[in-house]
Amino acid sequence: MAAQEQALSTRSIEAGVYHTRQDPQCRLCKDTPETVQHIVAGCKMLAGTAYTEKHNQVAGIVYRNICAEYGLEVPKSKWETPPKVVENGRAKVLGLEVPDRQAVAG
């Protein structure tokens, strides 16, 4: 809730509201004011790795929940790579295509 209300102490809030900082620019990219929106979805320094990792974590949770709901084998850990296809008489679930970490980071 606090993030939606822009109530987190970002550099932009510290500069514009609290007046405890002069520079509101993002500490990572230094191009844009550091707001919650910028950190969560707009910083080019986070775009290649952090956003992809967060997306893959959410996709893994959804995948495991769907498998559990339809009585399919659920991966034992979040690090286990799911099979390409899992199916039974009730459902067919396609595995996640997770990019190679080296390719994403490099």
- Identity at 100, one-letter amino acid code: D
- Which residues neighbour 13 within 8 Å (Cβ) at sequence distance 6 or greater? 6, 7, 35
pLDDT band at 106 (very low <50, low <70, confident <90, very high): very low
Ranges assigned E (strand) in 12-63: none
DSSP conformation letters of 69-104: HTTPPPPSSTTSPPPSEEE-SS-EEEPP-PPPHHHH
- pLDDT tens across 33-72, in order? 999 889 888 888 888 777 788 888 888 888 889 999 999 9
Give the mean pLDDT of the chain: 82
Q: How far is CA 43 from the centre of its chain?
A: 13
